[in-house]
Amino acid sequence: MASIAEVAARAGVSPTTVSHALSGKRKVSAAVKERVAAAMAELGYVPSRSAQSLAMGVTRVIALVVPDISIGYFAELAHGVEAAAMRRGYNVILCTTGFDPARELTYLQMVHSRAVDGIVYAAGAPPTDQELSDLLGAMPLVFVDEEIEGTRLKSVISDNEAGGRLAAEHLLGLGHRKVLIVGAEGEPFSSSRRIAAFRRRWEDGGGTVVATAGGQFTESSGALAVAPHLATFQTGTATAVFAVNDLMAIGVLHELRQAGVRVPEDVSVVGFDDVMAAKYCFPSLTTIRQDVPALGQVSTDTLIDALEGAAELDGDQLRLPVALVVRDSTGPVQAGRR
Amino acid sequence: MASIAEVAARAGVSPTTVSHALSGKRKVSAAVKERVAAAMAELGYVPSRSAQSLAMGVTRVIALVVPDISIGYFAELAHGVEAAAMRRGYNVILCTTGFDPARELTYLQMVHSRAVDGIVYAAGAPPTDQELSDLLGAMPLVFVDEEIEGTRLKSVISDNEAGGRLAAEHLLGLGHRKVLIVGAEGEPFSSSRRIAAFRRRWEDGGGTVVATAGGQFTESSGALAVAPHLATFQTGTATAVFAVNDLMAIGVLHELRQAGVRVPEDVSVVGFDDVMAAKYCFPSLTTIRQDVPALGQVSTDTLIDALEGAAELDGDQLRLPVALVVRDSTGPVQAGRR
DNA sequence: GCGCTTTGCCAAAGCGCTTTGCAAACGAAA
DNA sequence: TTTCGTTTGCAAAGCGCTTTGGCAAAGCGC
């Protein structure tokens, strides 16, 4: 555990000079620089991060707050965050909250303890807690795919409205007019945006929403949500399902198959996200693709820009484009079912 | 950014006393303790982590090294690691290498710079680099699901041999005798163990291995591996596929469906891992379940035990049990195909 | 009332780095 | 030769915490 003092001694210079040689903040003659480099190599010197952090008041570490990293969406997000952070010389600390506000609070403390410089906040749902919201408001932090009521914090989101519209247009174009929406309305930010936009475009196009069934954004909750409506599909009272995320859509697919409802012959299903499984489930899922790693990268770059004084953190949202991916779970409505 | 000195001043005591009140390492009278607590609350004091790290020579942070966090397996692993770390008051820094030795090296430096106390190393493949291996050998580090040739480092693994045996027995029990193995043999640690154990049990049971096709452990490489053998299945020259991981198995399923080969009527497929998608792909995948989060938890606990002096890091492996999960992708071999 | 141990608090010395004010050395300009 | 800028290097003061030795005051037995 060589220290800068030992390196200095060995190179026959002062610690100051070693520091400058390393950081380049002041000029050091080539000869000395070389001696220092040699000494460092011999000693296997690596500067202590905690000492640097303490002296500089900055850690070059950011926290990524997610509810559960084993959910594909958040894993992909983490991938983007880590890539961007790495590129700029930052490390990322993984903070999973399990949707528990208490743990969230714990993690937010990390900026107060100066363990991290800032936070990429993708907790899956906006904080209900007042205490939390207050904390968040006064912190170097960027939201991913959500925003806090009232505050004008920076947030990076996918264009959920456009996604909802695309989904509606696709189904309308196939002749569908009666849809079941799977997803909780008025709930978390992005999900409600998707539904609202879908609904608007759908009704504009002459469609009707047969029902809305909520859920927890998991496969099983998707299956659960669709179960009471199986008869609806058999009679043709509804011919399409719009699920606010792929996990739920996959649960729907599963449930329909169990019940003997054919997709896409009897009912078309469209999801949202384009997770990996969407391509490999059966039938493969028509969905709205959002570029999740990009979401992570952009939010991280935004955060770091702000930390380094290159930008402000309050203000508007950054909105990333989405795209319709047509696969096998959607098809034209059958004759007589319209 | 209140400091311990300010708290001390406000409470009318010395910084020493504040520190002791906080850590409990020496007795502090109840009255004083209360005054200190009040002062801390008023000032919103939170101790500085970098100062603590510097003074104590310990960070309470560990690094998790994985090739790609967006791969389901590693995401689940991260989940387990984070949970265990959190429970013991540690944070985890996410390090994704993208299978790049250079980046790996960078991350391993983190223990030299004392940015982390130890490493959970799940790089997906053993390091080829000699420099790397040497580094690894002299570090507070535990391997997940792999081990380094020659060294006696701690590693936590799933019982890959048992898994391979289970898969073989299941297929044998269904009457299969001719199998295609999908996965690179002699390659990364766990994968080759699975294959070797499978093959041994298989041949013991009177089966023959028609071919082995390698791959990169992704869906597309699974699809690619099976493509040249499609005819084999149509003629019944092979009636089963054992893929060393689920991703490849899912790729195989996909390719077979494209080609009109029926599963499980024409061919049975078994995977390994039991990733989330295994349940929702079509047909749902028979596979060997390994408890990946547990892998993460156990390795993290092992590492932390060692960091805190409660255990040694050299020595044998910890081996976690696996289980056969039967789903729809396997069935009895058809008459006349045997 | 005398020694002796506790008890409860403090001073000061680090931990390993960055940073700033100074000073010596060295040319170049006057 | 003097003067003035540049280089180039150093000393010392932090950054905010932990830790140890010490020292009064209080409690105890006799």
Tens digits of pLDDT across chain A (338 residues): 789 999 999 999 999 999 999 998 888 888 889 999 999 999 999 999 999 999 999 999 999 999 999 988 999 999 999 999 999 999 999 999 998 888 988 899 899 999 999 999 998 776 667 777 777 778 899 999 877 666 667 889 999 999 999 999 999 999 999 999 998 776 667 888 999 999 999 999 999 999 888 778 888 888 998 999 988 888 888 999 999 999 999 999 999 998 999 999 999 999 999 988 898 888 999 999 999 999 999 999 999 999 998 777 777 788 999 999 999 999 999 876 65
- What integer is the mean pLDDT of B288-315? 91
Which nucleotides of strand C lie within 7 A of protein CB?
A: 7-12, 14-21
Q: Which residues of B touch A60 (CB under 8 A)?
A: none
The spacing between the Cα labelled CA in B23 and the C1' in C14, in angstroms, equals 19
Instruction: Supply the DSSP symbol for B264.
Output: T
**Contact between chains at A69 and B78 (C-beta distance less than 8 A):** yes
The fold for domain A160-291 equals: Rossmann fold (3.40.50)
Q: Which residues of A touch B68 (CB under 8 A)?
A: 79
- For chain A, residues classed under CATH 3.40.50.2300 are 61-157+292-319, 160-291
- Measure the CA–CA gap between A84 and A62, rounded to whole angstroms: 11
Q: Which residues of A touch B219 (CB under 8 A)?
A: 280
- Scanning every strand, the nucleotide with its C1' closest to A17's CA turns out to be D9
The tokens 């792909």 sit on which residue?
B281
Q: Which of the residues A61, A66, A70 would you substitute to probe the B interface, choosing the one with the greatest number of B C-beta atoms within 10 Å?
A: A70
pLDDT in tens, B172-186: 999 999 999 998 776
Q: Is the dihedral of CA A115, A120, A121, A123 positive or negative?
A: negative
* pLDDT score recorded for residue B313: 75
The spacing between the Cα labelled CA in B95 and the C1' in C12, in angstroms, equals 40
Residue A41 Cβ < 7 Å to strand C? no
Q: Which residues does A75 contact at the CB level (< 8 Å), separation at least 6?
A: A69, B69, B70, B71, B72, B74, B75, B78
Closest Cα in chain A, distance from residue B51 (Å): 6
Q: Which residues does B90 contact at the CB level (< 8 Å), separation at least 6?
A: B60, B61, B62, B117, B300, B304
The tokens 């950081």 sit on which residue?
A23
Residue A54 Cβ < 7 Å to strand C? yes
- For chain B, residues classed under CATH 3.40.50.2300 are 61-158+292-320, 160-291
Tell which CATH architecture fits domain A61-157+292-319: 3-Layer(aba) Sandwich (3.40)
- Measure the CA–CA gap between B122 and A304, rounded to whole angstroms: 28
What is the radius of gyration, based on Cα positions, of chain A? 26
Instruction: Supply the DSSP symbol for B222.
Output: H
**Longest Cα pair distance anywhere in chain A, in angstroms?**
91
Which of the listed CATH numbers 3.30.230.10, 3.30.70.100, 3.30.390.10, 3.40.50.2300 matches domain B61-158+292-320? Answer: 3.40.50.2300
A241, A242, A247, B60, B166 from B173: Cα distances, Å: 41, 43, 34, 50, 10
Helix (H) or strand (E) holding A74: helix A72-87
Q: Using alpha carbons, select from B93, B94, B101 the residue that is nearest to residue B69.
A: B94
Asked if B145 contacts B318 with a C-beta cutoff of 8 angstroms, the reply is no
Overall size of chain B counted in residues:
338
**What are the structure tokens assigned to A213, written together?**
């069934």
